[in-house]
Amino acid sequence: MRRAQITFDEFKIIFQVTKEIPNLPETAELPQDPDLRDELLRCIRMARQIARAARPNPILIDVIENESPAMPRLEEASSGADGASVVKLEMPRELIGIWRPLAEKVLAQMDGRELFLRTGYEVNEMREAIESLPPA
């Protein structure tokens, strides 16, 4: 089972990269099922909304792989052992499996300057944040 805890600052960067997936050039090799990509985007948008509403900071996004291919599940923020708010984001294996490769593909396929203008982050910041995602 894959699992990763991501700080909210890292998640904000990962969110910006992930929302660029639909803007990848048509020549980029993407997973065959566009519904999976859409579901990934929907899921991280919901996680961001919950995380933004959670207080106090700092906040962690706990990404956990579901055993079944069920719908992604979000738990409202709760306090972790260190007092940080934690948003649990349970995602099916298929979504976890495409998230990091697609985010890496965004960095590989899109121009760094264009990405900075779209996201507000430098490529090295994005690469570091993506490293915190569970591996494919």
Does residue 83 sit in helix, strand or coil?
coil
Domain boundaries, the chain: 3-130
pLDDT digits (tens, 9 = 90+) for 23-73: 887 766 766 678 888 889 988 888 888 777 775 566 778 888 877 654 555
- The pTM score is 0.84
Q: How far is the CA of 17 from the CAs of 6, 38, 54, 87, 110, in angstroms?
A: 15, 14, 22, 20, 10
pLDDT digits (tens, 9 = 90+) for 96-110: 889 999 999 999 999
Does residue 56 sit in helix, strand or coil?
coil
Q: What is the DSSP letter of 27?
A: T
Longest Cα separation, the chain: 46
